[in-house]
Structure 1
Amino acid sequence: MPLVALGDKAYLDIVNNAVHKLNLTIPCDANCGGSVDHLLFLRSGCGGCFLADPFSEVVSPVPDLAFFIKEETRQEMFSLCYTPILSIRKVVAHWPQGSSAEPVVAALITKRRNWCSSTIFVCRAGTDTGVGKESYHTMSTNLQRVLDIAFFRGNLYALYEDGELVAIEIGEGSYGNPVITNVKYTIEKSTAGSNNDFVDNNYEDDGEMVDDDDGEMVNFIAVEENLPIEDYLVESGDLLLKLNRWIINCKSGDTDSFDVYYADLDASPCQWKPARSLHGRALFLGQSSSNSKSIHVGDGHYVAQEDCIYFVRHAGDSGIYNVRSGKMIKPLVPDTKLLDQSCRPWIPTWIFPDPSIIHTHMERSMALRNSDFTLLFLADDA
């Protein structure tokens, strides 16, 4: 299985019931803001941005992203009551095939005081990009109500609150840096995944009161317009998926179920269509700023159930959702204290190292004693 970074000084191998140490050289005050495949996205207290491989100990800075955030907040920094106004909600990366260049990094940046206003910024990881702030306007675009971003077939896609999907086309600038060349609508506003769609597909329509799993009567007509959801955009093989996470118990915010849609980009017009399976793959979801990834189950690399969504939001909300059957297994691990974040600085974050590296590191990690983060090794006991 993949790992989940939690933010302490070790990772727990549940299969072998042992605690191991990692020795990653990163800024001592760095916090994890998500992950990209096998890399953690880290931010230091002074604003630096990094992609760090916890197993090879390679740390790659993302200076243009850090400088862009600094430029955008320069005026507020001189205020006596300065607080950061920009938040990096998610970072994704794309490695061009046949290229040895550093990956193209895209960041979804939102304003803390107005999350509806979003900025997409693209750059290249590495120490010497040669790009100055005068180029940043070609490397960014302002959009409204962006919920998630993902690379798919070499292009960057952004998902809007109302289900709209836009393609952000990326070219190469004069310094070899990525630039945004065009933003175009791919899927117009859609009701797929809306509150009405959820009620129509999952509950009786001949009465107002419906019996939920706990035997309590719930008036879905009264709350139909207020069912909270979270949307994710995930590349899954040759498909681009939109996932709706449904929350029925508003007090706890716990996950009730997922709806899955795929983007039919060959249709005219392009549209979201329901997906009844994951075609033998498994999805791994964290919070909005953590990794959302699809893996093929049958390749022997990861022990996971096909057509299942593995999710970790916090200690009280984790599990496995079977897309085919609609059944939920909770929690993801029997001992939920392992996911307790009350004393940890990071949100649970999936990370996907190469399985061979995992086994090699597990053999040697018993001798290591110093680390900068905790990883929880999740075993599929279901």
Structure 2
Amino acid sequence: MVKMKQADVIENVRKALDKYEARLSEINQKIWSNPELAFEEYNAHDNICALFDTLSSEGYTVKRSAYGIKTAFEITYTLGKGGRTIVYNAEYDSLPGIGHACGHNLIATSSIASFLATCETMKTLYPDTNSSPDSIGYTVRLLGTPAEEGGGGKLLLINGGAYKNVDAAFMVHPFPVLSGAPDLLSSSSCSGMYLANNKVAVTFTGKPAHASAAPWEGVNALDAVVAAYVNISMLRQQILPTQKIHGVVLRGGERPNVIPASTTVEYYIRSETVGTLGPLTERVLRCFEAAAQATGCTLEYKWEPAYKDMLINRPICEDYMHAMNEMGYITIYDAAGQEGGLSGGSTDMGNVSYEVPGFHGGFYIQTDGVNHTPQFTAGAGSEEGFQRSLACAAGMAVVGCRVLGDDGFAGAVRDDFESRKK
């Protein structure tokens, strides 16, 4: 097999993105203008699948409601037999009330674009697996991954076997350009940024009573909420700067003149790794238990799927940086990409990174607010945001082609993954 020339890969990736830009813009706007919550992304699912139905003659196969999840899909291009497999993850769920305030429309668009560019480039560079001595077999997949904002869609996909025998999985995520910071397009500070996260809803149960006439007859479940909140607030002083605990009161009672008999809080507990998350979670649970004991309430836990931290894959991160810089984009491998550099966010892509070599790069768009604000929603729907997502799609496609076609690089990616997983 003749080694790929980076210049040829970049040229073909750019041609493919130019070819599909109008369709990509259309699908991006469809997702952004019709925000859908976790596991309800039916329009996004149908619109993306419909796009590839029109490309079935190009060799793309479409599987709707993949792996038993109604709003997941799997679109596949395979050439030859054997070889390596890569996956591009497309997220497309939104947030309640504020739409695509985390820019998942851009995540989906960049992954769709990378998938198309990788397939087009590989077809051009290795067109005939039967007659050419330089030919290879390979598989490229676009995986629709619902419910990142809540529900852990990728965990369900992992359990369903979606990442079995996959050699690398890719995605990028938009962030705001911070005030005073250089206007970078992208960063390969991909895998060390994200915290492991336990999510729990706690229900306290007491006893109702008339709050004025006979309060001594009641057991106040709202008092348990207040006590737990104070306990956790005091705990925050004694935890590491990289650890986060934050929550909301989902239900605090019905009327002021009725002693609340049932209340519910929801908390996220975050730490730098799955190894340090367990002990922190135990400390938080003791805060809830102390509140229940002090007030005489009982308590019940309801856990959401836990998100793991991201495992760094240095070969992928560094190659992405080099590819982006070679294409003329202002890109860095910044301090947050080194071990110990963390943000406050969490993602179910972290769980994927424990299964296969993973890439979760960041790119930056101009907005008047940070993620999870209405201002970020507006930025996620902008033309500039769309163009930046395509630029990062090009970088992912270049690296994806190298994983498929470069034995040495693919081996380095796998070795790095195995050493970090240990």
TM-score by length of 2: 0.23
Relative to its length, the structure with more strand (as a share) is 1
TM-score by length of 1: 0.25
